[in-house]
Amino acid sequence: MTDQDTEKSLRNAFCQEFGLPPTLRACAPGRVNLLGEHVDYNDGLVLPVAIDRQVQLAAIPGADDTVTLSALDLNEKITFNLTDLENKKDATGAALPGWARYAAGVAWALQQENLPVKGIKVAFTSNVPIGAGLSSSAAVEVGFAVLWQALGNWKIDPLKLARICQFAENKYVGLACGLMDQFASACGVADHALCLDTRSLDWQAVPLPQNTAIVIADSGVRRSLTNSAYNDRRASCEQAVTLLRQYMPHIRSLRDVETTEFAAYRPYLPEEVCKRAEHVVKEIHRVNSALSALQRNDQQAFGALMYAGHKSLRNLYEVSTPELDTLVELARNLPGAIGARLTGAGFGGCTVNLVKLDQAEEFISGLKEGYAAATGRQAYVHLCRAYRAAHILD
């Protein structure tokens, strides 16, 4: 379905749901991360791309403080009041379902910033696969933030908007995510990767290699990285910093540890903590190298860094799966392949592949066929482009 088809379908569904056409429409992209996985909560550098898989929202202002949401993909509808967000209850007093907490959390976080949030009726749909590691939740959050910004006629910097959405997910939804997902959706630049320093929050858009395509392969295995597994890995990184401070008192996070320093002090870390920290330290170094490769249009070097990143996520951070490993190994031997690795938190979801544009279709066919033969599963493979930031549609 094209973007125009989605817009038409959403408009029709909105009219059916609310009895009149929407007066405000927005879209917010998902993201794929090319390099820099599990480093955003370690003050590291990340290299995401906003993609043309997106959440689309249609809305009209409400007459009061009531928010009515219609999640078309789930066939569910909910109403809650903006004056009672702390309790996380709907209008009937029942607990808000998980999907509704992303929107409610954004409203709550905007209120914490003293930004006006008004009642609204919204229908929304998404072609960002849920649980695939492409940041469907962040796209929902940023999409609602953009809607409320337009409705309230206030304006803030996109990076600040992303930070508010991250705060909503951390404090309201309850997942200790970093800033990368919301940042990519709020700040995306067409045909560019985004290099974000998660410590200083400085960022730059870097042109993607010439004549290449981004191919995302969904393993069909839904991500099973629970909050506890994610938080355990984060805790291991924090423990590594505490232990390494005995030898390097100046460090604030793993960002401050050079690869040579880590090699010297790794014997003093417990085995699991050491593995988690080694991934982070070397992954941050890989992003620096990748940024240099992009700036000189060195596709081969960039691809090699992607493969190395996957190996580290598999062996050290231990968030890969047999299906993701199969997709990466298949990609390595297909026509047009430059680099491949798992993307997102891991334990299911997708791989991201950088592929020569003129061989992308051949690559996709080979990947689908090889994956089916090796696993008996179907891979959902998408040819994507780097997309612009969340915005109001005309």
Positions annotated as catalytic residues are: 181
Which residues on adjacent β-strands are paired with residue 125? 56
Residue whose C-alpha is closest to residue 35's, from 267, 348, 236, 309 = 309
CA 19 and chain centroid, separation: 34
CA gap 116, 353 in Å, rounded: 41
**362 Rama sector, left if φ>0, alpha if ψ -120 to 50, beta otherwise:** alpha
Structure tokens at 34: 């090319």
What is the Cβ-side half-sphere exposure of residue 167, based on CA atoms within 13 angstroms? 15
CA 302 and chain centroid, separation: 20
CA gap 117, 374 in Å, rounded: 51
CA gap 196, 183 in Å, rounded: 8
Instruction: State the greatest distance between any 2 C-alpha atoms of the chain, in Å, as a whole number.
Output: 67
Q: Report yes or no: 335 and 362 within 8 Å, Cβ to Cβ.
A: yes
Residue whose C-alpha is closest to residue 52's, from 382, 393, 392, 340 = 382
Residue whose C-alpha is closest to residue 208's, from 183, 188, 190 = 190
